[in-house]
Chain A
């Protein structure tokens, strides 16, 4: 490294060293000296298993995600190999037909849900906080909770194999094949519930990441200046938030159909089958970008780092991604071109589909042009990124074939589609594997064996193309089918060979990464020459507290400021800040300004660089904490879509951060007191994960609203009850636990300055709940349109279903909303009894709402009319199903709200909330939301 002085960290490090106070540093990743654990609020050393059960630190959680995801890669991979063996000759039945279908389905579900996304989120967990200069995520305990729900949902999926076989209807789970009439195994229900639990994990995770990335960026790190990997994760989580809410609705409805006998997707209905397709693909198309975007982010990072160039057209690259993220919600029917949708809508979706492929062209070109005039170094991460781009290009081109509707008519249901999406999705995996090599030194502090890395790539790339390219040639093979035209036998055999080669390449990787953990060279802070992002400015692995001070970009480049300092006080740190922000973007029309390097004469240095050892690696960095006393960060515990609020959030200190600017005014608080440090350990997320797992295992035994007779049914019932109680206990336990997360003020928070983390988290969660209920209402509307909105529909509903109970409940809920408003007013007036009185009134009104509803339902269950001789039950027809399920989901929200109300009353009794009314306010947000939902359900289900 020639220009030491230009490295900001040299400077920053110096400064920090001067102001060092009682250096306190632990090693977050590998060995931590025993005595240091007490400094960190009970986080045991990494060598102990307990550490990994209780940790809430983002780096630990990142590692947990990565390792778990790789396990599921092996799981899904073995299933894939089984399929490839079956396909060696047409019509072979090494697996029975149903077993084959199970393998196909489980392979798809595992790879997409339990491997691909979580693998990316391993990096997201580890790297994003580092890149944005945050010490952790906004809600560390919720982050751990996401992980445990993820792990246990995966285990639950594994359990499904042992309950008569898992789900066998394809990862798309088309209706009505997904109903017990056609897939009767208990395991099929379990698989659906496993996915449901996974979605809950994703939702919690989305809320957490969005809050973190929007609110907790270092000073000067405006959205426009965010590193590209973080950008991709930001967009991914936005898509996740909305897309997975639609899937949650679909899965809840499916679970209800399977377990309690609602009739949404039944074959007898007019449109159940199509309804599933709409719900699934409304989620499904964004999902393909959700899995792909992080890979794109890795590619962008690696292309920049290993070519020594900044990305071409950065601004447009970002704009293109934003466009794709938005538009991804408007293309879903291109998966339904062969269904009975009309020509106009086909045309529209053909147009949006082609439209969405164009921004991708731009991104591809931007990456390609980034190499020009660069210094391309063929390190393992770069090889994988480069390979991924090649594969993505091929996948994208074949996608355009599919976008041409006339061609899609023939490709649908064939190996063309299989080959297309494997090229793009596994292309994405390719980039993520590159990401693993890229960040492995950071995460472990060790360098892997470079030769084996390249060997892995060679085997991988050859294996990949050998596996998937023949599928284009043999495209007339029907999908999910093991009988295929004989002339394709050779191609399928090539595929199978490729599959084993691809599988074997991962053995090389596992060996390499495992062995290097102990024998690898120590990695320096920055083992890659031209990397720029913040994670490379700190040790490998980073200490628990990440940074040797407060990261700030306000001078134009990264500095670590002594804690508690005001960015304005500190003069910019030398030439590191010499890249003016205004050069952002690729609008510059010349590229002549680059220093011309003539790389064509000599041989490329093919080695991985390790030349940055000269950077400051002073071990004695100052670790101070973020400032103010911490308060509990947990407010929302998403539990099957209902918010269970937790403990007092004792108010996040008011911030005076300026909008989008660089200067944050700091309260000069004592930042030196260790008692005010963050917590890093909690066992409750694990307990919630475990109990929800057991609870769902129990629930899977349910069929048509009751458990089967006999011992087995009794076991399921017992498990449901016991685990249900356990789950409640764990939820309350987490709510009551004192846990200090990170506290502001933070640097950049656009566009959410002026609202604190917790409140923002609640709002983001509510936004996903909007989509959840929206999808329920949408399903109702769709079914009703299909049945005939007015006349046919009214025949499905008994005359006894009248407006009055609904109207009464509307009044009750509206009044309860008003009393919550009064409760907040009472807090402001510091009136304890006013507060308790208002909350108690809310409770009473809510209970009255439920009682009224129960009476109404009882009545309807037992109507006796000519049309409904056996009452109007959940499973009577689609109208009753939509009515009971939608309003039932709403009632569950009410019940959750009442539990929170009880909790608030208990706390208020002891004098809480008068000084800090935020918990009451947050509860209010939730309760009013439940009210608003009812404002729509009432006319839809009672009046119209």
Chain B
């Protein structure tokens, strides 16, 4: 995936001038992919080197049945340590440097995705997401409720997520957005989709019989289409099955219709 320059958030570049360039920015999809790739490469490298070294040495120093060395451990001796401390500390130091710098690097991005300006930006689209067993309601600022999340492409969309019954986790894997839906609590997150199309949101925390089917459609529309659609909505013509005001567990235990089709991720 190519990483386009970020046209939307000049303010953020100003906020972290020293880090610009190194710290991944952009949509969540972009930052995740960049960081994941780096971790994957380094992780694989470290894994291969360490495991390879282990296997190599285990083979190299395999027992040849020779004489028992004089200083070999004996039953009844008090445990002591062997030599090799310098090597130990060198490798330890190296691994520390790798791990700590990796994490510091990602921390820059964490600050970016959690930035107040990003999370609670002024004129972004704001949508309340309410999880219930077993589905999602999306509530727009004008009071319109639907069971399909419609958002404009290439715009930051703010989500306010909660649950009206048990603990759920709202996530749209393809858009790399995820946050817990906790009864009595609000969590904030944002998403930005670059391509129009249909995506699938789903639940990521076990919540009962319908957990595997607790999905919702996410429709990313062209901004103009979105404006049109939104202009025609109101609290009255809501399409959601039930509003978040309904308290208590719902009877819907079985799979919902939307669950039958399989969303293909990726």
Contact = CB atoms under 8 A, between A and B. Distances in A.
Q: Do chains A and B touch in the complex (CB under 8 A)?
A: yes
Given A358-B99, A361-B96, A586-B83, A404 B88 contact: no
A597 B69 contact: yes
Contacts of B167: 174-177, 273
Interface in A224-272: 225-228, 267-272
Contacts of B211: 97, 101, 480-481
B58 A386 contact: yes
A435 to B, nearest CB: 17
In this complex, which of B54, B57, B63, B76 has the most chain A Cβ atoms within 10 angstroms of its Cβ? B76
Contact of A615 (B72, B75, B259): B75
B125 to A, nearest CB: 21
Contacts of B67: 2
Given A486-B262, A557-B78, A599-B63, A588 B166 contact: no
B81 A532 contact: no
B204 A558 contact: no
Given A104-B206, A312-B82, A361-B95, A485 B262 contact: yes
Interface in A386-422: 386, 389-390, 393-394, 397-398, 400-401, 403-407, 409-410, 412-414
A890 B166 CA distance: 31
Interface in A510-544: 526, 529-534, 536-537
Given A583-B80, A597-B66, A605-B65, A588 B35 contact: no
B264 A485 contact: yes
Contacts of B185: 270-271, 273-274, 339-340
A487 interface: yes
B185 to A, nearest CB: 4
B39 interface: yes
A314 B68 contact: no
A656 interface: no
B96 A310 contact: no
A742 interface: no
Contacts of B76: 7-9, 532, 534, 537, 557-559, 576
Contacts of B187: 338-340
A532 B32 contact: no
Nearest to B179: A338
B50 interface: yes
Contact of A597 (B64, B176, B264): B64
A7 B70 CA distance: 12
Given A479-B204, A537-B76, A586-B85, A600 B95 contact: no
B246 to A, nearest CB: 13
A393 B73 CA distance: 27
* Main DSSP-derived SS at the A contact region: loop
A6 interface: yes
Given A314-B81, A400-B99, A483-B212, A531 B69 contact: no
B64 A478 contact: no
A169 interface: yes
Interface stretch (B10-18, B109-117, B221-229, B231-239): B109-117
Given A361-B92, A603-B64, A372 B57 contact: yes
A910 interface: no
A401 B114 contact: no
B220 to A, nearest CB: 18
B87 A483 contact: no
Contacts of B141: none
A569 interface: no
Contact of B82 (A270, A370, A476, A601): A370
Contacts of A354: 99-100, 103
Nearest to B53: A368
A7 B262 contact: no
A584 interface: yes
Contact of A604 (B64, B88, B165, B210): B64
B183 A404 contact: no
Contacts of B184: 267-273, 786
B242 interface: no
Given A177-B166, A393-B50, A404-B106, A227 B61 contact: no
A181 interface: yes
B46 interface: yes
Interface in B213-266: 213, 247-249, 255, 259, 262-266
A340 B180 contact: yes
Contacts of A390: 51, 54
Contacts of B96: 358, 361
B60 A553 contact: no
B22 to A, nearest CB: 14
A529 B63 CA distance: 12
B165 A182 contact: yes
B109 to A, nearest CB: 5
A332 B45 CA distance: 29
A587 interface: yes
Given A271-B184, A350-B107, A532-B73, A581 B262 contact: no
A90 B262 CA distance: 9
A389 B55 CA distance: 11
Given A371-B57, A405-B110, A486-B264, A585 B81 contact: yes
Contact of B54 (A346, A347, A368, A481): A368
Interface in A266-296: 267-274
Nearest to A611: B68
Contact of B114 (A343, A393, A612, A786): A343
Contacts of B212: 91, 97, 100, 478, 481-483
B265 A485 contact: yes
Contacts of B60: 599-600
Interface string B160-173: 00011111010101
A406 B31 contact: yes
Given A3-B68, A358-B96, A530-B73, A410 B88 contact: no
B103 A350 contact: yes
A310 B81 contact: yes
Contacts of B205: 174, 413
Nearest to B103: A354
B96 to A, nearest CB: 5
Contact of A599 (B61, B182, B266): B61
Contacts of B82: 309-312, 314, 370, 586, 591, 594
Given A90-B262, A404-B106, A366 B46 contact: no
A579 interface: yes
Q: Across chains A and B, which 6 residue pairs bring their CB atoms closest together, nearest first?
A: A413-B204, A314-B81, A604-B62, A558-B76, A591-B83, A595-B69
26 contacts: A8-B74, A91-B212, A97-B212, A101-B209, A220-B78, A226-B79, A267-B166, A269-B184, A274-B185, A308-B63, A368-B50, A368-B57, A371-B57, A403-B103, A406-B106, A407-B39, A409-B178, A409-B179, A412-B178, A485-B263, A532-B74, A586-B85, A599-B64, A601-B64, A615-B75, A786-B184
Given A270-B185, A316-B88, A586-B85, 10 more contacts: A98-B209, A175-B166, A310-B81, A347-B110, A364-B50, A371-B54, A390-B54, A483-B259, A583-B80, A598-B64
Interface of A: 1-3, 6-9, 90-91, 96-98, 100-101, 104-105, 168-170, 174-177, 181-182, 220-221, 225-228, 267-274, 304-305, 307-317, 338-340, 343, 346-347, 350, 354, 357-358, 361-362, 364-366, 368-378, 386, 389-390, 393-394, 397-398, 400-401, 403-407, 409-410, 412-414, 476, 478-483, 485-487, 526, 529-534, 536-537, 553, 556-559, 576, 579, 581, 583-595, 597-605, 612, 615, 786
